[in-house]
Chain A
Amino acid sequence: DAGITQSPRHKVTETGTPVTLRCHQTENHRYMYWYRQDPGHGLRLIHYSYGVKDTDKGEVSDGYSVSRSKTEDFLLTLESATSSQTSVYFCAISEDTGSSLHFGNGTRLTVT
């Protein structure tokens, strides 16, 4: 899986609580991404990073924040989880813009 570890793999949390998902890579790739996957919607980009401390919003960024303090780690935080954020979250990395994405195995998050 291209040296990408997502943690936790599963999480159940209550509405209104903060949640942080972690993505760790061992490939030293510059670009990192967070996607969510929902039935009928495919994969939608939440946030991405093009370097340490360089991040930008994707198409569904509301309610999410990210941080990247080291090349290898990209954190996704749900500031106050809502039921609409129940989803499978995938981290992806790429070596360069316009090159292929490599995905982790995902985190299944359930917000009750």
Chain B
Amino acid sequence: QQQVKQSPQSLIVQKGGISIINCAYENTAFDYFPWYQQFPGKGPALLIAIRPDVSEKKEGRFTISFNKSAKQFSLHIMDSQPGDSATYFCAAGGTYKYIFGTGTRLKVLA
């Protein structure tokens, strides 16, 4: 009930390509779905977040797609750049707590 399943574990994309990371959750009480970006030696930083009352949110090159009935959400990175190479975590949040996915290591080739 508390798991968030994230895939793929790692991803290699050519510069300019689209990176797609998927997450699935189980607990329908979750009402906040953020994505975090983490560079080596740093803490995760909020990238973009969505609430279940909308199906898509876009901020620059980053888009979250949300499917409430399937309990799935995904991060799309358009025009991927080498600077996007990092580890990405999805999360599902409710009162007080967040459950994180296991992370996706993205490498964008120049």
Interface status of A44 (Cβ within 8 A of chain B): yes
Task: Encode contact with B along A30-46: 1 for CB under 8 Å, 0 otherwise.
Answer: 01000100001111110
A44 touches B100 (CB 8 A): yes
- Cβ contact of A100, chosen from B42, B46, B99, cutoff 8 A: B46
A104 touches B100 (CB 8 A): no
A56 touches B89 (CB 8 A): no
Which residues on B are within 8 Å of A, measured CB to CB?
Answer: 2, 6, 31-32, 34, 36, 41-46, 49, 89, 91, 93-103
Interface status of A74 (Cβ within 8 A of chain B): no
- Cβ contact of A105, chosen from B43, B97, B103, cutoff 8 A: B43
Q: Which 8 A-B pairs have the closest CB atoms?
A: A103-B43, A43-B100, A42-B102, A42-B100, A100-B46, A97-B95, A105-B43, A98-B32
Q: Give the Cβ gap from A60 to chain B, nearest Cβ, in Å.
A: 12
Look across to chain A and name the residue whose beta carbon is closest to the beta carbon of B94: A98
A1 to B97, CA, bound (A): 21
- Cβ contact of A101, chosen from B31, B98, B103, cutoff 8 A: B98
A98 touches B43 (CB 8 A): no
Apart from the given pairs A45-B99, A48-B97, A92-B43, 13 other A-B contacts in the complex at a CB distance below 8 Å? A40-B102, A42-B102, A45-B97, A50-B96, A98-B93, A98-B94, A100-B32, A100-B34, A100-B46, A101-B46, A103-B36, A104-B43, A106-B41
CB-CB < 8 A to B95: which residues of A? 97-98
Interface status of A102 (Cβ within 8 A of chain B): yes
Per the 8 Å Cβ criterion, residues 91-112 of A in contact with B are 92, 97-106
Could you show 7 A-B contacts with beta carbons less than 8 Å apart? A1-B43, A43-B44, A43-B100, A97-B94, A98-B32, A101-B46, A106-B42
A100 to B45, CA, bound (A): 10
B96 touches A59 (CB 8 A): no
Look across to chain A and name the residue whose beta carbon is closest to the beta carbon of B41: A105
